[in-house]
Amino acid sequence: MNRRKFLTRSLAAGTGLAFVNPVFGSIVTPQSSTASLEISLAQWSLHRKLFAGAMDHLDFAKMSQSFGCVGLEYVNAFFKDKATDLHYLKEMNRRAEDHQQKNLLIMIDGEGGMAEKNAQKRLVNIENHYKWVEAAQVLGCHAIRVNLHGGEDRLDAQKAGIDSLNRLAEFAKPLGVSILVENHGGFSSDGNWLATVMQNVSNDNIGTLPDFGNFCIERKEQECISAYDRYQGMSDLMPFAKALSAKSHAFDVQGNETQSDFFKMIKIAKENQYSGYVGIEFEGTLDSEEEGIIKTKNLLDKAIAASY
């Protein structure tokens, strides 16, 4: 298959200037670009506003800057018909540059499971991701996040996932893009299962995107009935991490997240010599999306200062 070649546009470095959060009027300051761990914003944190049409996808960079974040983690659902629209992708680049943000990765959903049992379907699913690899190159993103969904048998799903990741990584390697797997439900939320996949892939542009909170293996009627220990899971996945997601839902009166000990999570990252970005991914409903992002940012600042 002949694939369109795109040019990667570089993004400007942050200026370090303070600015006013337009939502609450509070002064926030971006992190120094020399920090060992920098804070990015996962677009899913604003999914309610985006799905409701209360926010335009192209305003994501501006919103991220307003919270003091310095990197962008896109979700393909919010520009799903624009993967091959070079004009639109260039405009995303311009917005990122205008607001001193770095495009980091695209989280890919809805393109088919990479551990699909049916080999023919799985090959189609792999090819469905090609356009997003190319879009990532245009945006200057270092990676896309994929899902190892679709498997029925634990061992067969591992074998299928390994094969899929290697195939997609071979396509992505000349474009300078990595393929990351998140603990994102099913077998992938079993840290040992996913670590075994990582130990058996053959391309160095494959890695993990450990998420603080996604360690529910099986749900029944919206309730988690089988879960993997989140701290053990982080320890399993961090040796392969090329990105990191700070999932948050709710906070106590001290500002701590009620489900995950952020200080412990960041300590695990430090112990594994992780450097780079940690993305805010707020999913709660007790706070507004803006309030939840700010609370997560404040907590991450404290946890990073305590460990790095």
pLDDT in tens, 216-249: 999 988 899 999 999 999 999 999 999 999 999 9
pLDDT for residue 15 is more than 70: no
Model confidence at 6: pLDDT above 50: no
Q: Return the beta strands (E) in 176-236 as ranges.
A: 178-182, 206-209, 216-220, 223-227
Which residue bears the tokens 């075994």? 196
275-295 confidence digits (pLDDT tens): 999 999 999 999 999 999 999
36 pLDDT band (50/70/90 cuts)? confident
Q: Quick one: which H or E segment has residue 63?
A: helix 60-66
- H or E element in which residue 168 lies: helix 154-172
User: pLDDT band for position 13 (50/70/90)?
Assistant: very low
Q: What angle do CA 143, 14, 35 make, to 5 degrees?
A: 75
Query: Which CATH code for domain 19-307?
Result: 3.20.20.150
Owner of token pair 């190159």: 137
Q: Residue 20's pLDDT is what?
A: 38
Q: Domain-by-domain residue ranges, the chain? A: 19-307
Mean pLDDT, all residues of the chain: 90
Dihedral angle sign, alpha carbons of residues 188, 169, 205, 73: negative
Residue 14 has pLDDT above 80, yes or no: no
Q: pLDDT value at position 2?
A: 39
